[in-house]
Amino acid sequence: MDFTLNDEQRQLQQLARDFARKEIIPIAAEYDQKEELPWQVVEKAFEVGLLNPTIPEHAGGLGLGMFDECLIGEELAYGCMGIYTVLMASELGIAPILIGGTEEQQRRFLGPLTEKAGLAAFALSEPNNGSDAAAMGTTARLEGDEWVINGTKMWISNGGLAEFTVVFATTDKQGGHKATVALVVPKDAPGFSWNKIKHKMGQRASLTSELVFENVRVPRENQLGGLGDGFKIAMKTLDKTRIPVAAGSVGIARRALDESVKYAKQREAFGRPIAQFQAIQFKLAEMAMGIETGRLMYQKAAWLVDQGQSHGFESAIAKAYCSEMAFNAANEAIQVHGGYGYVGEYPVEKLLRDVKLNQIYEGTNEIQRVVISRNLLK
């Protein structure tokens, strides 16, 4: 077992760390307050190679693996989980094309993202359907050589702004998994509209949207895989993309620990820095224990992906454990800061608001426990 990063990975990690400190941290609070996506960060990430890095080489991309993607993710989330979600959700939109698309489709859809800054999106959840992904109401009807899409998708990161969205629909609402299809929809498709979801608790610098499809037509060549493959592609995608959520959670926890250590050394009570009190020391120790454990778990899951091995069990553990660990770390960071932690003067209250979503998206942590237990009992 060798946990040493190679030279390229250390450089990649440092690149992402520097990017977070220079481009993300200085503006994170501002864009959280404004509830706006900072497009200039997307453009700068593209310029330095941190945007959509998993696009394969045959499509013009860097072809980075899951482990490298997670190295980047931990560092960017340290700066701001909301801004990281913009970039992570683009990888989520790319993943179904890597899983279910042909090389020609990969070049056609992903090639343009290597030429200029652009995002992808993934549309599975609906207003009345989240975890029950097979019960979708969005329909797709084949007319000649075109699919006609009708329905509504909900909670879609990058929704409407993305160059394309992978949309999951059913050809028969009574058909279950076997009637599902995955279709790539360009953002300028007639009949496709979107509405921004406002007043989110956290991750306000990411765009979350409701997508509406009214007789949206896409050519049959935009279909990924065959009829009935939609649900399978979606589940395989989420098995992979839960791991960057875990990596981002570790980044948030690291930030919570760093802010807590810094504050505890400066803040005095009863004539000495509060860092000298065992109650505070134990909180810091718990954070550090969780960070180290969580990192090992997400790295194992990412390594399994890159080795082409089964990873659904490990990715579910990583996502659930790391997001809950990070929530606890952010909560304790507020406690270390006392009253100052409860207001926006310090960044720890934002960490708690942001990380809550990590327990919900990419499959709730309750669903992760279903995945884990099914693996144990099958």
Annotated catalytic residue 362: yes
- The full DSSP string for 12-72 is HHHHHHHHIIIIIHHHHHHHHHHT---HHHHHHHHHHT-SSTTS-GGGTS----HHHHHHH
AA identity, residue 114: T
Which residue's structure tokens are 């942590």?
A: 365
Apex CA 82: angle with CA 138 and CA 129, to 5°?
A: 20
Please give the structure tokens belonging to residue 72.
Answer: 């980047």
Query: Pairing state of beta strands 146-157 and 139-143?
Result: antiparallel
Question: Which position among 35, 268, 362, 366 bears the catalytic label?
Answer: 362
Q: Which 8-state DSSP code applies to residue 209?
A: E
Residue 154: which residues within 8 A CB-CB, separation 6 or more?
125, 126, 127, 210, 211
C-alpha 195/C-alpha 210 separation (Å) is: 5
Residues marked active site are found at 362
